[in-house]
């Protein structure tokens, strides 16, 4: 792959380095429309079962857990430390199942465009996520006005509709 700065980047080398982690069965590195790199990681389920037993971790949904996400992030960060900013992997997705035959044939090259088409949408949606709040503004106001909560430490900023006077007037 040729970058805008004239450098050439071999995606297969990046994939091989990611695959050095025994918990990864496979990885694919692709470029999105903004010329940012992202990785699709297929977990090695046999190695993960072994890892869970060795570390006495009893977790059914380990692949969706923050712990596994942290393991993937560490491997991506380890690789990114060796790369220029434009070459760094900006995002990743953990795949629950390996790529199918249409994306990764047994013989021949990866169908990178097909893989992008099937998986890029998910990565765009995951990259920027709005913060989640446990209650609405209405609930906050109701709680602050209730007599039960008078002794509790809290504050609310109310927005007035009147323009504020400036010091210059």
Which residues are CB-contacts of 47 (< 8 A; sequence separation ≥ 6)? 22, 23, 25
In a domain, 24, yes or no: yes
In a domain, 76, yes or no: yes
Q: What is the pTM of this model?
A: 0.66
Distances (CA, A) of 40 to 48, 72, 77, 120: 17, 10, 15, 10
Q: Residue 64: pLDDT band by 50, 70, 90 thresholds?
A: confident
Q: Which structural domain range is residue 71 located in? A: 11-127
pLDDT tens across 98-147, in order? 888 888 887 778 888 888 888 877 655 444 333 344 445 555 556 556 55
In a domain, 165, yes or no: no
In a domain, 157, yes or no: no
Query: Quick one: angle between helices 66-80 and 11-18, nearest 10?
Result: 130
pLDDT of 115 reads: 86
pLDDT of 97 reads: 85
Q: What is the CATH number of the domain that holds 69?
A: 3.30.300.30
In a domain, 144, yes or no: no
pLDDT tens across 46-60, in order? 999 998 989 888 777
In a domain, 141, yes or no: no
Distances (CA, A) of 91 to 99, 107, 135: 18, 28, 29
In a domain, 6, yes or no: no
In a domain, 135, yes or no: no
Number of domains in the chain: 1
Q: Is the pLDDT of residue 36 over 90?
A: no
């Amino acid at each position: 792959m040729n970058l805008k700065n004239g450098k050439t980047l071999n995606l297969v080398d990046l994939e091989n380095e990611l695959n050095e982690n025994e918990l990864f069965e496979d990885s694919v590195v692709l470029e999105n429309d903004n010329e940012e790199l992202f990785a699709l990681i297929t977990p090695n389920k046999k190695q993960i079962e072994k890892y869970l037993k060795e570390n006495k971790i009893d977790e059914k949904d380990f692949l969706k857990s923050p712990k596994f996400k942290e393991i993937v992030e560490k491997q991506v960060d380890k690789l990114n430390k060796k790369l220029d900013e434009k070459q760094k992997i900006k995002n990743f997705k953990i795949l629950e199942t390996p790529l199918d035959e249409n994306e990764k044939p047994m013989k021949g090259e990866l169908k990178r465009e097909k893989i992008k088409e099937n998986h890029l949408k998910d990565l765009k949606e995951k990259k920027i996520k709005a913060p989640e709040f446990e209650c609405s503004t209405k609930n906050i106001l109701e709680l602050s006005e209730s007599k039960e909560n008078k002794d509790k430490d809290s504050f609310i900023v109310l927005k007035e509709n009147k323009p504020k006077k400036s010091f210059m007037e």
